[in-house]
Amino acid sequence: MTLSLTTATQMWGPAVFIVFFVGAIVIVIQAFHFLQFLWFYLFEPSSVRSYLHGPAPYALVTGATDGIGKAVAQELFAKGFNLIIHGRNEAKIQKVVEELKAQGRGDIRYFIADATKSGYNFDQLLEPFHDLHITIVIHNVGGNYMNEGKIDDYSAAELVELVNWNVTFHLLLTRALLPQLRTTAVHGPVIVEFVGSQVADGPMPSMVVYAATKAFLRILARGLNTEERFWGTPSGVRFAYLAVGGVSSAGNPLTVSATQPTAADFGKALVEKIGSSRWNYAPYLPHAIMGSVASWFSDSMVDRFVLGLTKQMHEDRQKKRLHS
Ligand SMILES: NC(=O)c1ccc[n+]([C@@H]2O[C@H](COP(=O)([O-])OP(=O)(O)OC[C@H]3O[C@@H](n4cnc5c(N)ncnc54)[C@H](OP(=O)(O)O)[C@@H]3O)[C@@H](O)[C@H]2O)c1
């Protein structure tokens, strides 16, 4: 190698040496990233049980009456966490509480709030839980109802509701919870996780605002991680952003496949990775592989792919309408 490199350098000058040198560095960095990826998904032990500290640890899950949120709540309850669950429909949430109680032992509390609405007093909403030892918060509530058209096809009120649903609710709930979480973090680890979407890495036309709200959550998680370490002694409260791909759920009844798991399977994967070493990751391996492959391409290539995909989706929707 040294000989051939020396000979090549003599023949073509220092340019070839620089190409070899930079190439070797790039290969080493990529190999390191690949090994980190393998370690994270295949070997890193789950840390979710380290959040079972204190006499009665609680996990708070928003949007927990169906889909991913319900699956996550079920999984955490089975692991021994008490629960505070959130929904918008009292009868439905009471049914979920009964279902959960039939499956195990533990305390389950709930609160009701329509996340699309503004004007809640979050301190008041959380008052019944102010003395509970909350160690895990999963901000799961959210979604998208803008599947057709451009942003100016929707009213200002509809856009505000979409932002409330995916951003403001999480932001204000986190703000109200933080003092209590910091107190809990004195006794052991505390984590707040935001359920995001891979759409944020390739915003599809007609999902633009939804994608932007998820990107907001990613920056929020990253910034709060540094903020909690900046003012005085680090508080010990950590934040994570979860890049979620397709999941077959009540709100998004996709055909189940290797890349589109059921909400139950996805919930299991999400809970296993709670509190893991990364702050920004896809909890489900096939989503992580898809995200990783997408990151090899330039933004313009991803955007071109996304345009084609959206066109196909709209055509399929149109055909379904014609046949029904
Ligand atoms: N499914 C996917 O393919 C996918 C992909 C990427 C990201 N995500 C994200 O994953 C999260 C959960 O999605 P999902 O597919 O599991 O949704 P889902 O099946 O529709 O379930 C959403 C949960 O949130 C509740 N909810 C909905 N709107 C609400 C509101 N305005 N106020 C209070 N609660 C409300 C629902 O209550 P009800 O039971 O009353 O409806 C339900 O408990 C969302 O943040 C979504 O953006 C999902």
Cα 143 to ligand 1 centre (Å): 6
Residue 321 is predicted with a pLDDT of: 81
Question: Which atom of ligand 1 lies nearest, measured to the CA of 115?
Answer: 32
CA pair distance 233, 255, nearest whole angstrom: 48
C-alpha separations of 94 from 64, 74, 99, 205, 251 in Å: 11, 14, 9, 37, 20
C-alpha separations of 226 from 107, 121, 229, 242, 313 in Å: 33, 27, 5, 18, 39
Does ligand 1 come within 6 angstroms of the Cβ of 62? no
Residue pair 194/220 in contact (Cβ under 8 Å)? The answer is yes
Nearest to 222 by CA among 244, 247, 241: 241
Residue 2 is predicted with a pLDDT of: 53
- What residues have CB less than 8 Å from 44, skipping those under 6 apart? 276, 277
List the domain boundaries for the chain.
52-143+151-295+302-323
Does ligand 1 come within 6 angstroms of the Cβ of 192? no
pLDDT along the chain (324 residues), means of 10: 61 79 90 93 96 97 98 98 98 98 95 97 97 98 89 95 98 98 97 97 92 98 97 93 96 94 98 97 97 94 93 85 80
Does ligand 1 come within 6 angstroms of the Cβ of 291? no
Q: What number does CATH give the domain 52-143+151-295+302-323?
A: 3.40.50.720
Does ligand 1 come within 6 angstroms of the Cβ of 197? yes
Residue 88 is predicted with a pLDDT of: 98
Cα 196 to ligand 1 centre (Å): 11
Cα 291 to ligand 1 centre (Å): 21
